[in-house]
């Protein structure tokens, strides 16, 4: 079976390619390189440069490489940007997926894994979010992911595809420094950035109804997340018609303040945070129940927050050598 990994030159996608090839699966990367980096794609893995909005190119890539499974990660993922550019997000994430599904359902593809997000839940008023918790996305980004789940399920049912939507929680860390996230739009790299430029990391709000007043999230190592894709891909291959919706988190809530303390300890910087105003739209607490994926597929995360921060820091120092402390 050959798997087409859309977005395979991106941060998470490159980890998925690494995990799939490491597990002996044949892969082909399809990426428009708008934010991806061809250097992340292993030399032995074919790279097709193209957009998921280009149905002709997709169909040719699927036929040329005899693709029978797809892992779809190519998408826009900035929550804030999606509020200002909703049509762009719907076009790239929903129309792009629809075009991809047209090509997939016209070909002998039997399995489809969709990269969804905890953003589909919005502001859940429960301690632990299960897959049954109602989805009320708060941003166009989250809406496109929820609509994507619907598209994938409907197209899968109609065409007899086995499908899975994986709701990623807060992803951090790297398998190797070269595969680290180069973006600075999430907590860990944002704190690295502030520390290395000599400014205090910011806590966006310390008056939330949580133990220390700061927001609580469920952080997951990108290596674990990538392994979850391998587990899910294999389940789809062995069970035709399977239709899965799964949280991919660890079930452990960690506060912003705890994360910043741990980052200070790992990096050797000792810069206490300043308290900034709340960031609009931030839920106080979003923590996964990771039970369903464990019970149904036997997958569990192996890495903790310390591993995430340490590996992310190695990647940061590779890009910003002056950040290293003796
Ligand atoms: C985590 C917490 C911030 C930076 C988003 C999307 C989600 C997924 C991952 C894409 C929040 C706080 C942050 C800082 C801070 N995206 N923070 N100081 O918002 O939980 O999730 O990214 O697929 O869908 O919603 O992640 O890393 O931005 O923030 O206090 O300098 O850290 O307010 O509470 P978030 P994040």
The per-residue pLDDT for 93 is: 98
Out of 1.10.357.10, 3.40.350.10, 3.90.25.10, 3.30.70.20, the CATH code matching 173-217+251-287+303-323 is: 3.90.25.10
Query: Ligand 1 pocket: which of 185, 200, 217 to mutate (most atoms <8 Å of CB)?
Result: 217
Superfamily of domain 2-171+219-248: NAD(P)-binding Rossmann-like Domain (3.40.50.720)
Beta strands in the chain (DSSP E): 2-6, 26-31, 47-49, 67-72, 111-117, 162-168, 170-172, 202-204, 216-217, 219-221, 243-248, 254-255, 274-276, 285-286
Over residues 262-289, the pLDDT tens digits come to: 999 999 998 999 999 999 889 999 999 9
Establish whether residue 119 lines the binding site of ligand 1, counting it when its CB lies within 6 angstroms of any ligand atom: yes
The per-residue pLDDT for 182 is: 95
**Which three-class secondary structure state does DSSP give residue 125?**
coil
The per-residue pLDDT for 325 is: 76
Establish whether residue 123 lines the binding site of ligand 1, counting it when its CB lies within 6 angstroms of any ligand atom: no
Tell how far the Cα of 80 is from the centroid of ligand 1, in angstroms: 10
217 burial type by CB count under 10 A (0-12 exposed, 13-18 middle, 19+ buried)? buried
CA nearest ligand 1 atom 8, residue? 170
Tell how far the Cα of 185 is from the centroid of ligand 1, in angstroms: 8
Phi, then psi, of 51 in degrees rounded to 5: -95, 150
Pairing of strands 216-217, 254-255: antiparallel
Q: Are 83 and 140 in contact (CB under 8 A)?
A: yes
Phi, then psi, of 112 in degrees rounded to 5: -140, 120
Residue 66 CB coordination number (10 Å): 12
Closest C-alpha among 214, 311, 221, 302 to residue 259: 214
Is 141 labeled as catalytic in the residue annotation? yes
Domain spans of the chain?
A: 2-171+219-248, 173-217+251-287+303-323
Closest C-alpha among 3, 238, 224, 231 to residue 112: 3
The per-residue pLDDT for 326 is: 56
Over residues 152-174, the pLDDT tens digits come to: 999 999 999 999 999 999 999 99
| pLDDT < 50: residue spans in the chain | none
Establish whether residue 187 lines the binding site of ligand 1, counting it when its CB lies within 6 angstroms of any ligand atom: yes
């Amino acid at each position: 079976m050959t798997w087409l990994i859309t977005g395979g030159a991106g941060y998470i996608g490159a980890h998925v390619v690494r995990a799939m090839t490491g597990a002996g699966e044949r892969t082909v990367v399809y990426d428009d390189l708008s934010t991806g980096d061809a250097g992340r794609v292993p030399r032995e893995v074919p790279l097709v440069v193209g957009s998921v909005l280009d149905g002709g190119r997709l169909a040719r890539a699927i036929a040329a490489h005899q693709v029978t499974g797809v892992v779809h990660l190519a998408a826009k993922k900035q929550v804030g940007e999606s509020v200002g550019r909703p049509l762009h997000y719907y076009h790239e994430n929903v129309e792009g997926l629809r075009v991809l599904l047209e090509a997939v359902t016209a070909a002998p593809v039997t399995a489809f894994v969709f990269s969804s997000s905890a953003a589909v839940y919005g502001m859940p008023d429960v301690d632990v979010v299960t897959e049954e918790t109602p989805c009320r996305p708060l941003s166009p980004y989250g809406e496109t992911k929820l609509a994507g789940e619907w598209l994938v399920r409907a197209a899968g049912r109609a065409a007899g595809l086995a499908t899975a939507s994986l709701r990623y929680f807060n992803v951090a860390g790297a398998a190797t420094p070269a595969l680290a996230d180069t973006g600075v739009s999430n907590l860990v790299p944002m704190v690295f950035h502030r520390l290395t430029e000599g400014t205090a990391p910011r806590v966006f709000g310390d008056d939330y109804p949580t133990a220390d007043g700061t927001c609580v999230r469920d952080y997951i190592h990108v290596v674990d997340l990538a392994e979850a894709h391998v587990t899910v891909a294999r389940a789809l291959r062995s069970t035709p018609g399977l239709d899965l919706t799964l949280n991919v988190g660890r079930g452990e809530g960690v506060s912003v303040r705890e994360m910043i303390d741990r980052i200070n300890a790992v990096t050797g910087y000792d810069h206490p945070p300043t308290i900034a105003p709340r960031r609009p739209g931030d839920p106080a607490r979003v923590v996964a129940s990771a039970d369903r994926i464990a019970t149904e597929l036997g997958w569990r995360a192996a890495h903790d927050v310390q591993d995430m921060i340490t590996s992310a820091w190695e990647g940061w120092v590779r890009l910003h050598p002056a950040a290293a402390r003796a």
